[in-house]
């Protein structure tokens, strides 16, 4: 079954993570649509502080890990100058 999103879904995610239109790209698979971008440690701290971590993953040492894992150990996520992020925009 096809997955669909509309412009409002994208705009909502951009506002949630304070991104601009040129900051992200989308990945479409048979099962999910992900929004990807790169964040700095200050952004990651804000995501975790503001409870904006649901459906959000960080790429740490080549592995995608749910952002909620870092709520109590932010240092693991922010020790790098840039962090790959992905947000689950839609699921089939």
- Global pTM reads 0.90
Token pair 């409870």: residue: 51
Q: Averaged over 30-52, what is the pLDDT? A: 91
pLDDT at 75 over 80: no
Q: Averaged over 19-41, what is the pLDDT? A: 94
Compare 79 and 46 and report the one with higher pLDDT.
Answer: 46
Give the C-alpha distances (Å, rounded to integers) separating 72 from 23, 54, 67, 90: 27, 15, 10, 27
């Amino acid at each position: 079954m096809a997955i669909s999103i509309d412009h409002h879904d994208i705009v909502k995610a951009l506002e949630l993570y304070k991104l601009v239109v040129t900051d992200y790209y989308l990945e479409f698979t048979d099962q999910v649509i992900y929004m990807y971008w790169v964040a700095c440690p200050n952004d990651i701290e804000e995501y975790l502080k503001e409870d904006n971590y649901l459906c959000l993953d960080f790429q740490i040492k080549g592995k995608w890990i749910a952002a909620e894992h870092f709520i109590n150990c932010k240092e693991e996520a922010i020790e790098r100058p840039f962090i790959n992020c992905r947000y689950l925009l839609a699921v089939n």
